[in-house]
A and B are shown apart, each in its own frame.
Chain A
């Protein structure tokens, strides 16, 4: 342990696909599920491996990257500043919709509030000016309207269909 102010404590996390992650304690403690694991098992050995059966390696790596950066921002007093916005913007820039959905599922399971807020906001921004078809594809929703029924609803709310972006 870091009782003598020596080595930082490392937390071991094991994903559903069997990968082992070594994460700095402050970053791992951002995950509410990991935090409560150690709260409930106070005498857990330092090399205890926390199993994460609902998270696979790819989203976990992404989440660690995000939380690590945000832990540092807080430590440097940069929270809420432009630096953070810039990081967040870069972070999601290359992420596909599928990747975002995987991230949000994993962040939900790990229970990381800050990241969930950010991800829901991000997804809302992506969907904001998109067509009905885009939203259906995003959430995997099947269209159960007949063409006539759909046309009637579209007509009723015509004003809401002005200024929609291309998919």
Chain B
């Protein structure tokens, strides 16, 4: 057996996130996060914190304006500073302080205490789990049977994403008819968590795959899906079990380029929302290729059974 590692130069993308694979289920970082609004005056922002960025703000247009005066005369940035230094448990308790502090959606908060956490039970409400992605800032994405969830073990909250409609198949949802490849991560430009769903569609009439993907994206700040035009990517096919790799604002998948019978890497930029092929080595279809991060750079681990 032969092992090869292909590394894409980190000068192309500045990878700064620690290497966390979807199967690595420990919480690695101090963690953090945001989302809806709780603690600020303007009310349309949530705060989040992670190891590298300190505090960031996320717009949340779903939130009502909060009352600016609800901070005992302390300036808003001081209030955020103070609250961001509280452990998760305290922040959750503060949901009872007043209504604006009590969010409607998933709440995610900074916490150093999580670094001691080694395992956590998944909410039993989540049905048959197929795939786990993350964590990104303490937030996991769980792909259950016919449903996607976001889960924050620190706050013990799970949120079921709204269903993403299927534009191609008008008949009832049949999970066996097609499969999904999911990418999940932060859009660093807009400070929003996004989930990209690439669906390979199956036509029951012809018993063939449609010659295109359908790409949809979910934004956490608006809690809504956005459909892209159906992407004519006839030259690519994604593996049914191809896990995505997220790094620094970009999701990657390995895919097969049909006409050339070799493997390529597809990337989806969370910020500019474009799916594209990135330059890579010429990998024969017969080799198994796993995406990963190696010394902070995007890498492909190739296993060749000689």
Residues of A within 8 A of B (CB): 101, 104-105, 108, 116, 120-121, 123-124, 127-129, 131-132, 135-136, 138-145, 149-150, 153-154, 157, 159-161, 164
Contacting pair A101 B74 (CB below 8 A): yes
**CB within 8 Å of A: which of B60-95?**
70-75, 78-79, 81-83, 85-87, 89-90, 92-95
Chain A contact residues: helix, strand, loop or mixed: helix
Q: How far is the CB of B82 from chain A (nearest CB, A)?
A: 5
- Complex formed: what's the CA distance from A101 to B94 in Å? 19
- Complex formed: what's the CA distance from A160 to B89 in Å? 5
Residues of B within 8 A of A (CB): 70-75, 78-79, 81-83, 85-87, 89-90, 92-99, 102, 156
When C-beta atoms are compared, the residue in chain B nearest to A143 turns out to be B98
Query: Count the A-B residue pairs with Cβ separation under 8 angstroms: how many?
Result: 82
B residues less than 8 Å from A140 (CB atoms): 71-73
B residues less than 8 Å from A124 (CB atoms): 82-83, 85-86
B residues less than 8 Å from A135 (CB atoms): 94, 97
Q: How far is the CB of B245 from chain A (nearest CB, A)?
A: 34
B residues less than 8 Å from A138 (CB atoms): 72
- Complex formed: what's the CA distance from A138 to B86 in Å? 15
Identify 18 new A-B residue pairs, CB closer than 8 A, beyond the known A120-B78, A139-B79: A120-B81, A120-B85, A121-B85, A124-B83, A127-B82, A127-B90, A132-B96, A135-B97, A140-B72, A141-B72, A141-B97, A142-B70, A142-B98, A143-B98, A144-B99, A153-B95, A157-B92, A160-B92
- Complex formed: what's the CA distance from A127 to B93 in Å? 11
Q: How far is the CB of B64 from chain A (nearest CB, A)?
A: 13
Contacting pair A153 B96 (CB below 8 A): yes
Q: In the complex where A120-B81, A120-B82 touch, is A144 in contact with B98 (Cβ < 8 A)?
A: yes
B residues less than 8 Å from A160 (CB atoms): 89-90, 92-93
- Complex formed: what's the CA distance from A139 to B79 in Å? 9
Contacting pair B86 A157 (CB below 8 A): no
Q: How far is the CB of B43 from chain A (nearest CB, A)?
A: 14
A residues less than 8 Å from B81 (CB atoms): 116, 120
B residues less than 8 Å from A141 (CB atoms): 70-72, 97-98
Contacting pair B90 A129 (CB below 8 A): yes
Contacting pair B70 A104 (CB below 8 A): no
- Complex formed: what's the CA distance from A164 to B83 in Å? 17
- Complex formed: what's the CA distance from A145 to B96 in Å? 8
User: In this complex, which of A120, A154, A159 has the most chain B Cβ atoms within 10 angstroms of its Cβ?
Assistant: A120
Contacting pair B85 A164 (CB below 8 A): no
When C-beta atoms are compared, the residue in chain A nearest to B96 turns out to be A132
* A-B CB contact pairs (8 Å), 18 listed: A101-B74, A105-B75, A108-B78, A116-B78, A128-B86, A128-B87, A132-B93, A132-B96, A139-B71, A139-B72, A139-B79, A141-B97, A142-B98, A143-B98, A145-B102, A157-B96, A160-B90, A160-B93
B70, B74, B87, B94: the one within 8 Å of A105 (CB)? B74
User: In this complex, which of A121, A142, A144, A149 has the most chain B Cβ atoms within 10 angstroms of its Cβ?
Assistant: A144
- Complex formed: what's the CA distance from A131 to B41 in Å? 22
Q: Which 3 A-B pairs have the closest CB atoms?
A: A140-B72, A124-B85, A139-B72
B residues less than 8 Å from A121 (CB atoms): 85
Q: How far is the CB of A38 from chain B (nearest CB, A)?
A: 25
- Complex formed: what's the CA distance from A144 to B95 in Å? 12
B residues less than 8 Å from A136 (CB atoms): 97-98
- Complex formed: what's the CA distance from A101 to B79 in Å? 11
Q: How far is the CB of B161 from chain A (nearest CB, A)?
A: 20
Q: How far is the CB of B157 from chain A (nearest CB, A)?
A: 9
- Complex formed: what's the CA distance from A142 to B72 in Å? 10
Contacting pair B73 A105 (CB below 8 A): yes
B73, B87, B93: the one within 8 Å of A161 (CB)? B93
Q: How far is the CB of A27 from chain B (nearest CB, A)?
A: 23
